[in-house]
């Protein structure tokens, strides 16, 4: 049997979060809140690095807090993509979300069953157990880290973006 410990999961979470924090720190408040443009035209559906990282915190809260730990979560997913603010405040929220995820995983480590039922559409997927949910959290963090890296590169290559 292959075993993935919560410590292993948290190590990978830390790597992704630290890389995302480094991006918003590098960009600063203005560019971290900017949506990428090409030739002065905003890219349709593109999000700011600030919004992407805010969304990742929502992913951790919902999937870790609700699905794994069974906490009641009120999430406004569309608002995550409209989020803007000071980088220092976002970094503070990242640190708190990371500690909360660690607490959620520790509180729920002894069994494989989810504390909240998955959506019916996810019932036959790996998201129907804690291990699958933890891998999904990692999937989301690393997917969005890549998105943030590309967004940073576009923003830094855009005149006046940083």
Q: Could you tell me the residue range of the domain that residue 113 belongs to? A: 6-36+44-156
Tally the C-alpha atoms within 13 A of residue 63's C-alpha that lie toward its C-beta: 24
How many domains does the chain contain in total?
A: 1
Q: What is the reported pTM? A: 0.88
Confidence (pLDDT) at 162 = 45
The pLDDT value given to residue 143: 98
Q: Does a structural domain hold residue 1?
A: no
The verdict on residue 162 lying in a domain is no
Please check whether residue 112 lies inside any domain of the structure.
Answer: yes
Q: Supply the angle between the helices 130-157 and 6-32 in degrees, to the nearest 10.
A: 30
Residue 93 inside a domain? The answer is: yes
Determine the Cα–Cα distance for residues 42 and 149; give it in Å rounded to an integer.
17
Q: Which among 19, 103, 18, 115 is positioned nearest to 66, based on CA atoms? A: 115
Residues 127, 136: Cα–Cα separation, whole Å: 7
Residue range 31-89, pLDDT digits in tens? 999 999 888 888 888 999 999 999 999 999 999 999 889 899 999 999 999 999 999 99
Binning the chain into helix, strand and coil, the percentages to the nearest 5 are 65, 0, 30
pLDDT above 70 covers a percentage of the chain that reads 84
8 Å CB contact between 24 and 50: yes
> Residue 81 to residues 45, 53, 130, 148: CA-CA distances in angstroms?
10, 9, 26, 13
121 within domain boundaries: yes
Segment 14-32, tens digit of pLDDT: 999 999 999 999 999 999 9
Tell me the two tokens of residue 144.
């969005």
pLDDT number for residue 138: 97
Residue 161: inside a domain: no
With respect to residue 96, please indicate whether it lies within any of the assigned structural domains: yes
What are the two backbone dihedrals, phi and then psi, of residue 111, each rounded to the nearest 5 degrees?
Answer: -140, 160
Is residue 134 helix, strand or coil? helix
User: What CATH code is carried by the domain that includes residue 56?
Assistant: 1.20.120.450
> Is residue 60 packed enough to be buried (19+ CB in 10 Å), middle (13-18) or exposed (0-12)?
buried
């Amino acid at each position: 049997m292959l075993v993935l410990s919560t410590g292993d999961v948290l190590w990978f979470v830390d790597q992704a979060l630290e890389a995302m924090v480094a991006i918003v720190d590098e960009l600063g408040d203005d560019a971290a809140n900017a949506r990428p443009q090409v030739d002065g035209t905003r890219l349709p559906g593109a999000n700011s690095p600030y919004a992407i990282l805010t969304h990742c915190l929502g992913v951790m809260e919902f999937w870790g807090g609700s699905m794994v730990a069974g906490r009641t979560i009120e999430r406004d997913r569309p608002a995550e993509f409209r989020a803007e603010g000071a980088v220092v405040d976002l970094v503070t929220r990242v640190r708190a979300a990371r500690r909360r995820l660690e607490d959620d995983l520790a509180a729920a480590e002894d069994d494989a069953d989810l504390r909240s039922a998955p959506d019916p559409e996810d019932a036959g997927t790996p998201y129907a157990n804690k291990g699958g949910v933890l891998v999904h959290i990692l999937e989301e963090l690393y997917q969005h880290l890549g998105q943030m890296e590309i967004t940073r590169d576009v923003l830094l290559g855009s005149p006046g973006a940083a």
